[in-house]
Structure 1
Amino acid sequence: MVETAWSLLPPIFAIVLVLLTRRVLLSLGVGIIAAALFITNYHMIDSILLIWEAYKGVFVADGSLNTWNIYILLFVLMLGIITAFVHLLGGTKAFGEWIIRRVKTRVGAQLMTMTLGIVVFLDDYFNSLTVGQIARPVTDQHRVSRAKLAYIVDSTAAPICVIAPISSWGAYIIGLIGSVFVTHNITTQSELVGFLKIIPMNFYVWAALGTMFVIIISKVDFGAMRMHEQHAIKTGEVIKHQLKEIDSHDTNQHESKVGKMSDLVIPIAALFIATIGLMYWTGSQSVTESKNLITIFGEADVSKSLLYGGIVGTITTFLLFIRHFKQGEVEKSHFVKSVITGAKSMLPAFAILIFAWAISDLIGQLGTGLYLAELVHQSNLHFWFLPFIVFLMAGFIAFATGTSWGSFALLMPIAGQIAAATEIDLLLPMLAAVLAGAVFGDHCSPISDTTILSSTGSSCHHIDHVTTQLPYALVSAGIAGIGYLVFGFTGSVLLGLAIVGISLVGLYIFLTKKPVKKLS
């Protein structure tokens, strides 16, 4: 069953079940069991042992601690604690009151979040977890649903990182492009130049950003998102009543009456500066030659930087607590309660991430991605359709496996082989289609860590985020797909981009002309 059509069933089981039942852990558990049974040909004892190894691998790999996963989990924990303390100290309320005087509308609050997401482009994890925390007080004040916040955060995480050369993504992709160039003896341009040329060809990025902008300025939502937005506007409840337990702080938690905006800005600034500085430092330690921002940030130890950045942010927050304690605004008991509250708020994300990492490991062993990649390799379609087909296939692989990086590694060499065998001028567009499709699939997948962390950072129920974002991502993918078809038939990147732009204008006209009441 490994590397066959059967390998598609476990991820499909998990994804369909999670959408039908809204019970994430149950659904992922079913997918994990199914994958283990398929790999071991239904040997029960072997399956149990394999599942144990998958969960063990989340924490221990190659005989030592899996520091990447552990550091990410610890960072998530510390972010929850920082958030709880910022609320305790009154920083959230003060920041909300300050920004509310400057951001006058719901549209402004959403555009502010979008701008923050674009600016924080160094790493998708960092983006997903921090932008939502910063923007949440403002969007809450303007009755923007948490589902909408999570959508904006997710749509400016991977889509921005994938086109940023100075990011953890940029260097990884440049390395893959370089290996493709070496394989096919491409010496007319460097891998960096190739990466820069690919940026305008990544039609999904521009379609996703454009769709988000259109949705915001048109004030028209559709699908499940409309229900969440209407509920937030009418009631002021940014989370559906029955799901409030996932909010990041206890509504009965004490809040300092003398809180200042600095009680939010200082911890977040310390977190930002420390994390970025540590990314630069760890990257510098790893690069011995050709030191530049691209290679330095590309070689950075992101998980270690997040961990130590989180420690700096947490210590800074504790120091602010001491200041408030001396002023008599908080008590010793509030310290312990806030630590517990902040840690508890992140437990659902902990569990989902662990399950998602385990199923991703088993799906990798099952060879789901390899099977789909081989289908692309064996396709005999006319080269006009190849960028479009590669885009769709990369999307499906990333959706099923929950990883865009894994999809890059699988499909980029194959896309290079297909281009070399058919039309070498299609090499860069084919690589761009892989990047675009993988980000699209990752964007939609309920088992993607970026999707999970975006809902976590925004304090949104995970399945609410998945179901509300999916229609918008599909619209963006449809627009990008049209762009790739036009490019395939014309060979013009500019014309493909123009079609994407025209489609976005058409979407705006369609939404604003429809007899659908706009959300205020």
Structure 2
Amino acid sequence: MEPSILSLLPPLVTIGLAIVTKRIIIALLIGIVLGSLMSTGWSVTGAAELIFEVVSGLVIADGAIAEEMYISLFVFLLGVLTSFIYIAGGTGAFAEWVTRRVRARRQARLVPVVVGMILFFDDAFSSLVGGNVSRSVTDQRRISRAKLAYLVDSTAAPVIILVPISGWAAFIAATMTGIFEDNDISEYTGYEGYLFSVPANFYAITALLFAIAVAVLGINFGPMRRHEERAASEGVLWDETRGKVPGETGRELPQRDDGRPRDLLTPVIALVLITIVFAVWIGVSRTNGPITPMNVLANTDVILALFYSGLLACVIAGAMLLAKRTPARQVGRAAWFGAGSMWVAVVVVFLAWVTAEIISGLGIGEYVASFITGDVALALLPAMLFVLAAFVSFSMGSTFGTFGLILPIAAQIVASTDMTFLIPAFGAVLAGAIFGDHTSPLSDTTILSSIGSGIQVIEHVTTQLPYAFICGLSSLAGFVVLGLTRNTLAGLAVALAALAVAVVFLRARTPRLQERTAPAGSAST
């Protein structure tokens, strides 16, 4: 179908149903059916063929196993690894060890922030592993899973897009290189374009700083306040009435009483180190030419490295269990329950990918972008590009898709009007894409953060939305000033000032919760 206002219907219906009914799988299925019918002129057979084609492409791409399958397999492996660590007694021993050192909820809230900054090289890795590692600490100090998921999500993509040696940096630099060549722009290389756009990525900067402020000051508002109050006073860390959360297998499995912190640390550290080694090895082996950090990052496959490292980490954790003379049948049962605990999560993230693929074919980006032309007032261009990228990313649930679609449009507008707006325009697009990714229930990063943190997707989305909007509005104010002054630092200063005002206001209105609490009861952990 031709891009039109009707292109917006499937994502709006899907997201609306997900938030209202809180049944994400049903909402995604309805979105897939509606989008495929619209794409094929309401042909039932055509829609079925389109869905089959999209699903097949997510399983096998270019004659090889698709990246999405490796992510799905890694999620299953993470469930197995979590289960192995649990029955080894590592989860409880590590939590007890940390609890003696992390005595206040403020310190516990900073754990996922620090972990997220350390795991800066891939968003899926940061979301899944950061949540799993941190929740053994935050659970003990009665931090709600909703707050944990917010902190994990806010130190995943925002950190990764700001770090110049991440996989995202390589992708964005490569995309900008192609855009510069297509538009005969020779002022910058692709990597320089990315580096100079970092200070103009107001949302990533404000989101990260706000997450730190929330962790340090204990700011709670919106639906998050109810979650935190129940966690602090009652030890209820998530809404148990909504059923099981991803990765929770403890109630079906026995736990050894001779567990040690190393039972958790050894497989997790192995997972991180093996991922780095594999990623570097793959990047070097695929690089034809000088072996530089950027060339290695551009040619590596972090997702493939993640799968292999997950497999080996499970082998290590399983071997440690057998070395303790844990019965092989019990190890096998733990693996089965661990993988099974992730089944619904994998279904949700896979359906989200299918939805995003079908929705992207409706031409949402092209339709919305058609409202921004070279005739637009240049002073409003950065703000408009931020809003445009945010809406497209929110609708599609894809940051990379938004980068690839909106960055060339921004370059074309700037090339035909005023080249001094090139870097601010790119910064606005990147910022908007991250904001849309943070607020969309279709985003894989959003879903993976909820999986890693052990909370239902919709609960994570609804509790994170108000926090994301604070940063989004602060960023929008900054982009308006940037356009008026043509000064990136002036725009950044306004964005940070607006965020500071919001922090002071929200801190004053946040009820004081007891910062030193007894560990959460076993019923909620």
Common fold: TM-score over 0.5 = yes
Partner of 1:72: 71
| Residue aligning to 1:410 | 405
Aligned partners of 1:298 and 1:48: how far apart in 2?
A: 36
Q: Secondary structure at the match of 1:251?
A: helix
Give deviations 1:439-484, integer Å, cap 9, x for gaps.
1101111011111111011111111001111111111100111111
Deviates more, 1:43-52 or 1:105-114: 43-52
Rounded to whole Å, the distance in 2 between the matches of 1:264 and 1:126 is: 17
Aligned to 2:93: 94
- Matched residue, 2:268: 268
| TM-score normalised by length of structure 2 | 0.95
Deviation sequence 1:125-161 (CA, Å, 0-9, x none): 1111100111011000010011111111111111111
Partner of 2:9: 9
Equivalent position amino acid for 1:185 in 2: D
Q: 3-state SS of the aligned residue for 1:476?
A: helix
8 Å Cα contact 1:54/1:362 also seen in 2: yes
Which of these residues, 384, 389, 394, is aligned with residue 389 of structure 2? Answer: 394
* Equivalent position of 2:367 in the other structure: 371
Q: Is the 8 A contact 1:231 1:240 kept in 2?
A: no
| 1:89-238 matches, cutoff 5 A | 89-238=88-237
Q: Where do 1:292-441 residues align within 5 Å?
A: 292-325=292-325, 330-376=326-372, 378=373, 380-441=375-436
- SS where residue 422 of structure 1 aligns? coil
Deviation, 1:365, is 1.9
Partner of 1:452: 447
What is aligned with 1:519? 513
Unaligned runs of 5+ in 1: none
Q: Identify if the C-alpha distance between structure 1 residues 31 and 8 changes in structure 2 by more than 3 Å, giving closer, same or farther.
A: same
Contact 1:147 1:464 in 2 (8 A): yes
User: How far does residue 370 in structure 1 lie from its aligned partner after superposition?
Assistant: 2.3
Rounded Cα–Cα distance in structure 1 between residues aligned with 2:313 and 2:396: 33
| Aligned-partner Cα distance in 2 for 1:26–1:189 | 47
For residue 247 of structure 1, report the CA deviation from its aligned partner.
4.8
- Which residue of structure 1 lines up, in the alignment, with residue 57 of structure 2? 57
CA RMSD of aligned residues (A): 1.4
CA offsets 1:25-65 (integer angstroms, 9 cap, x no match): 10011111111111111112222222222222221334x34
CA drift of 1:113 comes to 1.1
Q: Structure 2: which 5+ runs fail to align?
A: 515-525
- Structure-2 change in CA distance of 1:190 and 1:48 (3 Å): closer
- The amino acid across from 1:295 in the alignment is N
Contact 1:239 1:460 in 2 (8 A): yes
Q: Say if 2:29 is the partner of 1:29.
A: yes
1:183-219 Cα offsets, whole Å, 9 max, x none, are: 3333333222222111111000111112212222222
Is contact 2:109–2:216 with CA below 8 Å preserved after alignment?
no
Cα distance between partner residues in 1 of 2:108 and 2:291: 39
Q: Following the alignment from structure 1 to structure 2, what is the Cα–Cα distance between the partners of residues 332 and 121?
A: 36
Superposition deviation, residue 278 in structure 1 = 0.6
Q: How far apart are the structure 1 equivalents of 2:108 and 2:209?
A: 17
Percent pairwise identity: 36
The answer on 1:485 being equivalent to 2:480 is yes
192-201 or 119-128, which deviates more: 192-201
Identify if the C-alpha distance between structure 1 residues 237 and 209 changes in structure 2 by more than 3 Å, giving closer, same or farther: same
Q: Which among 470, 483, 504 is matched to residue 499 of structure 2?
A: 504
1:78 to 1:150, Cα distance in 2 relative to 1, 3 A:
same
Shift of 1:252: 4.0
Matched residue pairs, number?
513
In structure 1, the residue matched to 2:277 is 277
**Aligned equivalent of 2:519:** none
Letter in 2 for 1:365: G
- The amino acid across from 1:231 in the alignment is R
Tell me how far 1:381 sits from its aligned partner: 2.2
SS of equivalent residue, structure 2 residue 400: helix
Moved more, 220-229 or 259-268: 220-229
Q: Conserved in 2, the CA contact under 8 Å of 1:32 and 1:359?
A: yes
Structure 1 residues 355 and 232, CA gap change in structure 2 (3 angstroms)? same
Q: Report if the CA contact (8 A) 2:470-2:502 is conserved.
A: no
1:166 and 1:294 in contact (8 A); partners too:
yes
Match for 2:461 among 463, 466, 487?
466
Cα distance in 1 between the residues matched to 2:276 and 2:27 = 36
Distance 1:33 1:512 in 2: 44
